[in-house]
Structure 1
Amino acid sequence: MTDVVLVTSSFLPRFGGVEEHVLNVARELRAQGVSVAIWAVDQSDVGAPSEVDGIVVRYLPCPLPARSPRAVLSFARRAPQALAEWRRAMRADSPRMLHVHCFGPNGVWASAVASMYRTPFVVTTHGETFGDADGVFQSSRLLPAALRRSLRRAAAVTACSRYAAHDLTSYGVDPADVVVIPNGIDLHEPAGAAPAGLPGRYVLGIGRLVDNKGMDLLVEAFAAASLPDDVGLVIAGDGPARRGLERLVGDLGIDDRTLFTGALERPQVVECMSRAELLVVASRAEAFGIAILEGWRAGLPVIATTHGGPPEFVTTGVDGLLVDPEDTVRLSAAITAVVDDPVLAHRLGDAGRVRAAGYSWKRVAGDYVEQYRRSGARSGS
């Protein structure tokens, strides 16, 4: 019997905020004596592992119906086999608790199976209701309805920030009933090889290249900043917005000072952070902002967005600067101020390094264990 199965919208070999969160929580839960498995949506990825560090990983089909006749027929063909695979997973792992991370098709199926087997479940939102690059919760009728039902039935609901919790209001949840459990960070994550072509000095933006991450706002602010000629801009990550960003960089005449690294492996992220002058998180909406923790760990001064979760844990002028990234004039001035003032940069970076120590995965997993304990008691498990 498995104590907890983490049911995630995505997992390795893909790697982003949710994948990192689930992997580290699974490792730490096991370290705390909680038996754990991971179930993820089967996306037919080559190299998808069947286990990680001895933790079982299963990839399960999660078909959903759609409105077109063709889509309905496809769902009718696929659903029985999908249900059979979910049942096999339930028999194999016999979970006492299902914990849904980043609600999507994974949540729809997990909620249904939990109901079928009378298994308590927890739902954790990572900001998917407003931060999904494809706007699925705005375009779909099924997912919002399924989320509302699941939230009503969940033994507990958690969110990575109060901001993300508040967004659940439109799905029938009182934000006061949502437990905020922030993201964490590996304080001793090893560095690796540096991405090719890094300049000696640079301002860093890192994340998936989608509109919501505001990399275009960072590019515009950097182009307008009064910086020494030897300070470049590094955009680390990849995504559908990359071509537009490359055009913008050319239009602003800073292509010779800008490096697009593409997607990075985790050790490269650590090394890229360690060499930067400044980290800028310019998101139009940010559920939490795990990059801020990574910048803090590296002792970097951080400029963070006022839109979303960062104001809940960043104290402007103390361990970072909070700026509305859509005000690119102010963002540009903040970049200039930090690069021009080494005393300010070091003060912010040193304070951030101290703050990072409070966001260990041990703390995050311990907070989840407390929710499992309370949820099990409420459900009579």
Structure 2
Amino acid sequence: MKIALVSDCYPPRVGGIESQVADLAGQLVGAGHQVEVLTATTGPKGESRGDVERLGQVVVHRLAEPLLRLPVNPFAVPEVRRRLQAGGFDVVHVHLGVVSPFAWDAARIATGLGLPTALTWHCVLDRAGVGYRVSGALRRWVQRGAVLSAVSRMAAAQVRRAAPPGTEVAVLPNAIDLDAWRPRNPHLPRSSGRDHDHYCAVAGDEGVGAKGEGEGVRLVSTMRLARRKRPVELVEAFAEAGVAGRAELVIIGDGPQRAQLHRRVDELGLGGSVRLLGRVDRSRLLDEYAQADGFVAPTVLEAFGIAVLEARAAGLPVVAMAGSGVADIVEDGVSGLLCVDDRDLALGIRRLVDDARLRATLATHNRAVPPAQTWPRVLEQVLAEYRRAGA
């Protein structure tokens, strides 16, 4: 099958959609398919304005306009049309966020050309769903044969409300390489096994969640330090939990709210209990997860939660917000605790810190039972969506 993947954002930009689309391209190529990516992101050496880059067996069309300094290019429409029309693609898979003008143009062009088209939303539509209904874009795309999906049940429900009545919206989750995030046990050699075999082999490990009340419990959170991710609210919930001195919170990531977050930590007197590490590489992140006792995710408008999935795959109990895409990854009381509001988030943090038995039970489950969102499973779902688009 020859597949066109379309995304405003693509590596070398760093982010959720970027990494997922790049990983999907690699998985599809590994399964024997031809993949070409059309993106409005400039390449690592400045590739843009139609330059074609080859990354292994993946062909990347860099349709960026560097003068705009953002992954948008309204001038690329004629070239996108030409390349999609001449490409001989069996399916066009368009990846959308809340604001994705390049992907929107590609959806309009692909459906207008009569190409089998799959559209996947990686975002929480929220009020943007009104714009889809008013503009009639979704109605036109669906009438032309496009199939719709989103990365979680919550996100799919929002797309369904914005789509014409009766439109099927599939759930096409993000995925990870389970082997890359498997739990690290400093006392056991790292197994070369995969999936359930590996998880069952380490399920009896008492290293995670085995600390008592008198010992320091380490919680970790990974996010972009931006308002939507709610890092300030995380620190405030940690303060309200009243566990400073008995627990440490390590926040990993960078972003525009870093200075504000530093100030809030100082204002709350948490300098000895909250550490801001900034951005780290995957190896350091895995080391932090290996030393942690739990993971906290404060984001409410979370379409999926790739950081939660990674932490869950690493065997960490998760405290997160209910009503978001995280509910597809974390089962309340089984793999973590889901909280309904910020007060409940503080209570969840306190409960995880105070209850060593609960930590051990959740950690043992997460080490024994891998999450469902792994590439072998998700790739099958992706291919099924392509067949639905071509039907």
Taking structure 1 as the reference length, the TM-score comes to 0.80
Once structures 1 and 2 are overlaid, which stretch shifts more, 255-264 or 206-215?
Answer: 255-264
Query: Aligned match of 2:233 in 199, 217, 232?
Result: 217
Offset of 1:332 from its aligned partner?
1.9
Q: CA deviation at 1:160?
A: 1.1
SS state of the match for residue 280, structure 1? Answer: strand
Could you tell me how far apart the structure 2 residues matched to 1:140 and 1:62 are?
A: 26
Instruction: Return the match for 1:98 from 92, 117, 134.
Output: 92
Q: Give the counterpart letter for 1:331 in structure 2.
A: L
Question: Which region of structure 1 is more displaced relative to structure 2, 315-324 or 163-172?
Answer: 163-172
Distance 1:109 1:143, change over 3 A: farther
Q: How does 1:1-381 map to 2 (within 5 A)?
A: 3-43=2-42, 50-61=53-64, 82-87=76-81, 89-90=83-84, 93-103=87-97, 104-130=100-126, 137=128, 146-147=137-138, 149-174=140-165, 177-189=168-180, 202-227=218-243, 229=245, 231-324=247-340, 326-328=341-343, 330-377=344-391
Relative distance call for 1:287 and 1:115 in structure 2 (3 A) is closer
- Which residue type is aligned with residue 107 of structure 1? A
Match of 1:7, as an amino acid? V
Per-residue displacement from partner, 1:115-166 (whole Å, max 9, x unpaired)? Answer: 4533121100112524xxxx8x489899965455434435311111121011
Query: How far is 1:286 from its partner?
Result: 1.4
CA distance in 1, matches of 2:266, 2:56: 44
Provide the C-alpha distance between the structure 1 equivalents of 2:269 and 2:142, rounded to a whole number of angstroms. Answer: 49
Structure 1 residue ranges without an equivalent (≥5)? 64-74, 192-199
- Unaligned segments of structure 2, at least 5 residues: 67-71, 183-215
Distance 1:46 1:235, change over 3 A: farther
Where 1:356 maps in the other structure, the secondary structure is coil
Give the CA RMSD over aligned residues.
3.1
Distance 2:26 2:233 in 1: 36
The residue type equivalent to 1:178 in the other structure is V
Structure 1's 215 and 173: CA in aligned 2 closer, same or farther, altered over 3 A? Answer: farther
Aligned CA distance change for structure 1 residues 59 and 273 (closer, same or farther; 3 Å): farther
The offset of 1:266, in angstroms, is 3.4
Query: CA 1:119–1:5 in 2, change beyond 3 Å: closer, same or farther?
Result: same
Q: 1:58 to 1:142 in 2, by over 3 A?
A: farther
Q: Give the superposition deviation at 1:347.
A: 1.3
Find the aligned partners of 2:91 and 2:332 in 1 and give their Cα distance: 39
Deviation at 1:227, TM superposition (A): 2.6
Provide Cα deviations, 1:3-49, integer angstroms capped at 9, x if missing partner. 11111131111222212221222122122222212222235766679
Check the 8 A contact 1:25/1:364 in 2, yes or no.
no
Distance 1:274 1:6 in 2: 35
Aligned equivalents of 1:264 and 1:249: distance in 2? 20
What displacement does 1:113 show?
Answer: 2.6
**How many residues of Structure 1 are paired with residues of Structure 2 in the alignment?**
347
CA contact (8 A) 2:226 2:257 kept: yes
Note the C-alpha offset of 1:92. Answer: 6.7
Are 1:296 and 1:355, in contact at CA under 8 Å, matched by a contact in 2?
no
In 1, the alpha carbon distance for the partners of 2:91 and 2:15 equals: 24
SS of 1:33's equivalent in the other structure is: coil
Deviation of the 1:105 alpha carbon: 1.2
Q: Deviations over 1:322-354 (max 9, x none)?
A: 112x333x3222212212223211211221234
Distance 1:141 1:84, change over 3 A: same
TM-superposition CA deviations, 1:215-269 (whole Å, max 9, x none): 2221011112233626322221122222322222121111333222223333333
What one-letter code is carried by the residue in structure 2 that aligns with 1:15? V
Instruction: Verify the 8 A CA contact 2:181 2:313 in the aligned structure 1.
Output: no
- Once residues 128 and 143 of structure 1 are traced to their aligned partners in structure 2, the CA distance between those partners, rounded to angstroms, is 18
Q: CA deviation at 1:97?
A: 1.1
Indicate conservation of the 8 Å contact 1:221/1:332, yes or no.
yes
Paired AA for residue 30 in structure 1 = V
Distance 1:160 1:207 in 2: 18
Q: Secondary structure at the match of 2:115?
A: coil
The amino acid that maps onto 2:144 is R
Q: Percent identity, aligned pairs only?
A: 33
Range with bigger deviation, 282-291 or 221-230: 221-230
Q: Distance in 2 between matches of 1:308 and 1:45?
A: 34
